[in-house]
Chains A and B, each alone.
Chain A
Amino acid sequence: MDIEDLLKLAEEDKALADKDTAHLTINLNKVVSKNLVPGLHIDTRELKDGVEVKVRLDDGVVIEKKVHMCFGVTREKALQRIRMDVDIGKNAGISVLSHCIFPKATKVKHIMDAKIKVGENSFYSYEEKHIHSMEGGIEVYPKAVVELNKKARFKTIFELIKGRVGKLDINYSITGLEESVMEMMSKVSGRKDDVIRIKEGGNLIGEKARGVLTSRVAVRDNAKAEVYNIMRATAPYARGHVDCKEIIQDNGVATAIPVVEVKHPKAHVTHEAAIGSVDSKQLQTLMSRGLDEEEAVELIISGLLS
């Protein structure tokens, strides 16, 4: 298997052939291909066990087409360390679609260490889709520290679309200044002895800053999930919401620890958390239409994670 196969797996081959679509493809610690568009700069440095990536977007540049990034490991065993430095100028914006593909992994460790700065009145959207092997021998550590300037918007979605999650440890921390908006969402399901740990922290330090932290997790067999959502609001009219839903089956174990902290009388943070088996009314409705219990459960969970 080579990188071409990986890209086909992610259905990325077409986007990468388009001259007007910016992209960056990395296989283990090698930059395989790169395409830039005006106003976007991506500098890379290959390291022993990974790649350092610097992304810079000039002031006033808004890129319409999604920027495609691909971090792959074709081997069975490897360590991949990605250091990302993202700097979005003022009045600018990009959306990144990132695929992390480890289809053969029996023992692969993928570490993503990101520093992201989003300039005044700009936006940065980062959609991260994972394709893993069915072995479960994979460890993924996405870590990001995000700073949002005034009126900046940041949105991130983490999603496992194929394979077993293995061990996942997400750690995101976002700080938002005046009128900034943060949205973070993780959608993961675990089985067998998978372990999922999600830590999402939002700090609303500017007036009228807003944020939503959402997690949707399903665990079955002996899988475990822990979700820590922390939303702090310290400025007037800051608004935050934490929303965590976890479905468990078999011997799965799920924990949710939502922390909401408000340090200004005019700030407001709400949270909702629900952990349990599949909702009985949903299940019985689908069964009353003729679906078997397993089919009904699959459908409900696929909806939750869609």
Chain B
Amino acid sequence: MSILEVKNLSLSLNGKRILDDLSIDFWEGHVHAVVGPNGAGKSTLAYTIMGLEGYRSIEGDIFFDGVSIKNLGVAERAKHGITLGWQEPARFEGLTVKQFIMASAKEKKVETVRDVLSKVGLKPEDYIGRAVDKTLSGGERKKIELASILAMQPRFVMLDEPDSGIDVASLEKIFEGIKMLKSYDATVVLITHSLAVMKQAEHAFLLCGGKLVEKGDIGKIEPYFEEECLPCEHKNVPDKGGVDGY
């Protein structure tokens, strides 16, 4: 059963076609990976599913539980249980870790905040009172972002490059977080160009040049990592360094 379905989805930004006639079925309760080289359109797909400002003029449709959500705003989609973990999480001057996680949490209790912080490997007493600003490292903000998502208990969560800025030792904590989301029956989409992260998923969608070029179980997509986007004719397009607005 699919929980979220993208149907013939296209999106152009500044006159450039970034997503090109994508049709993807995300099965409920599974861990999926969306892979592809830099600039393939992975983040754009996530922003479009989330319905972020600037990513709403789509062709095609997006269905959640079988109902179109293309006319819903970000908050409404989130209230349905859809969320996004950002590749580069935002900084909030003056906002404490506790306030940030509490704002996201389904159960607004301090115990929830402590609990999710421990789960991502951060000592609650060291972090709860700190500000979610530039005094935290990129990796710490990434973990706090994941903690806030665990507290939210979403039904459909997209994690954009969940390993970026994360050291090898902490990667295990991120993977545990992913398992925990799955144990709540959440559907997880891992957006990645890392093989280790892709291996956390059950199946993968390979994106290139905004098109879906392959899908299937991990074993089927794995050669892509060894042969660098072999099935994809866009493989020689270098990373243009992400013009994305976020």
Contact = CB atoms under 8 A, between A and B. Distances in A.
B93 A293 contact: no
Contact of B99 (A293, A303, A304): A303
Given A290-B78, A292-B75, A285 B90 contact: yes
Given A287-B74, A292-B75, A293-B75, A300 B104 contact: no
B79, B89, B91, B103 interface centre (most CB from chain A within 10 Å):
B103
Nearest to A285: B90
Contact of A281 (B90, B93, B95): B90
- Tell me the dominant secondary structure on chain B's binding face: mixed
B90 A279 contact: yes
A291 B103 contact: yes
Interface string A262-306: 000000000000000001111011111111110110011011111
Contact of A303 (B77, B93, B246): B93
A54 interface: no
A299 B90 contact: no
A288 B94 contact: no
Contacts of A290: 75, 78-79, 83, 104, 152
Given A285-B86, A289-B104, A291-B103, A280 B53 contact: yes
A286 B246 contact: no
A182 to B, nearest CB: 22
A245 interface: yes
A303 B246 CA distance: 21
Contact of B92 (A282, A289, A291, A292): A282
B229 interface: no
A284, A292, A295 interface centre (most CB from chain B within 10 Å):
A284
B149 to A, nearest CB: 8
B94 A303 contact: yes
B198 interface: no
Nearest to B149: A289
Nearest to A290: B78
Contacts of B77: 288
Contact of B50 (A282, A288, A300): A288
A299 B75 contact: no
A38 B93 CA distance: 40
Interface residues of A, number: 25
B141 to A, nearest CB: 11
A281 B246 contact: yes
Given A282-B92, A303-B92, A303-B93, A289 B78 contact: yes
Contacts of A291: 75, 78, 103
B73, B94, B246 interface centre (most CB from chain A within 10 Å):
B94
B192 interface: no
Interface in B49-107: 50, 52-53, 73-75, 77-79, 82-84, 86, 89-95, 99, 103-104
A18 to B, nearest CB: 26
Contacts of B152: 289-290
Contact of A300 (B75, B82, B95): B95
A303 B95 contact: yes
B96 to A, nearest CB: 8
Contacts of B131: 303
A299 B99 contact: yes
B92 A288 contact: no
A289 B93 contact: no
B148 interface: yes
Interface string A235-255: 000000000010000000000
Nearest to A187: B94
A288, A293, A303 interface centre (most CB from chain B within 10 Å):
A288
A288 B74 contact: yes
B89, B90, B131 interface centre (most CB from chain A within 10 Å):
B90
Interface in B107-163: 131, 148-149, 152
Contacts of A279: 90
A253 B173 CA distance: 46
Given A285-B89, A288-B74, A304 B94 contact: yes
Contacts of B74: 284, 287-288
B121 to A, nearest CB: 21
Contacts of B245: 280
B220 to A, nearest CB: 31
B79 to A, nearest CB: 5
B103 A288 contact: no
Contacts of B91: 282
A299 B149 CA distance: 18
B99 A284 contact: no
Given A285-B86, A302-B94, A303-B93, 6 more contacts: A285-B89, A287-B73, A288-B77, A289-B152, A290-B152, A299-B99
8 contacts: A245-B93, A281-B90, A289-B152, A299-B99, A302-B94, A303-B93, A304-B94, A306-B94
The 10 closest A-B pairs by CB, nearest first: A303-B95, A303-B94, A289-B104, A290-B78, A287-B74, A306-B94, A287-B75, A281-B90, A285-B90, A282-B90
